[in-house]
Amino acid sequence: MERTASLDRVFHALSDPTRRRILETLARGERPVLALARQFAISQPAVTKHLHVLEKAGLITRRKEGRTRRCRAAPEALRRPLAWIERWREFWNDRLDGVEAALARAAAQEPGDPIAKDPARQSGAPAERAAETKAQRRRRPPRRRAPGKAP
């Protein structure tokens, strides 16, 4: 559960454009809070609230140096969210590759006989029929039932 909460905090922190700009600024180097506040058209307390969200997500660190508070980006906090994104990218790429292959097979079929060239659909097994699109099912002749069996 903590793993999910950590991801949620990072994505929440990155969802705000001001926080993303603050993070981009800090990626170029450590900055005092007051110097950050001057770069944005919002008050210093508002910048401090944004910094608190970024710090809670682990994306920045803050330290006190005399009377000055300084902030620094913590890019290592992005490793887990990036790994999470990569897993989903691979998942969807695999799915889209399957869609692309199915479209290529469909394009290679003769327009008048969509089932004739696809041996997987000739068998009529339920798993293959489930993969058919509605348009393909409409073109297929209805299945005949054995006499005396209810639909």
State pLDDT tens for residues 96-113. 998 998 898 888 885 655
Confidence band for 2, pLDDT divided at 50, 70 and 90: low
- Tell me the whole-structure pTM to 2 decimals: 0.59
112-148 residue pLDDT tens: 555 555 555 555 555 554 555 655 655 655 555 555 5
Task: Say if residue 36 is exposed, middle or buried (CB neighbours under 10 Å; 0-12, 13-18, 19+).
Answer: buried
Mean pLDDT of the chain: 80
Rounded mean pLDDT, 9-24: 94
Where do the H-state alpha helices sit in 109-143?
Answer: 119-122, 126-131, 134-139
Rounded mean pLDDT, 57-79: 91
Tokens of 8: 């949620």
Tell me the domain boundaries of the chain: 2-78, 79-139
Higher confidence at residue 10 or residue 126?
Answer: 10
Q: Which fold, 2-78?
A: Arc Repressor Mutant, subunit A (1.10.10)
- CA neighbor of 33 nearest in space, from 62, 70, 8: 70
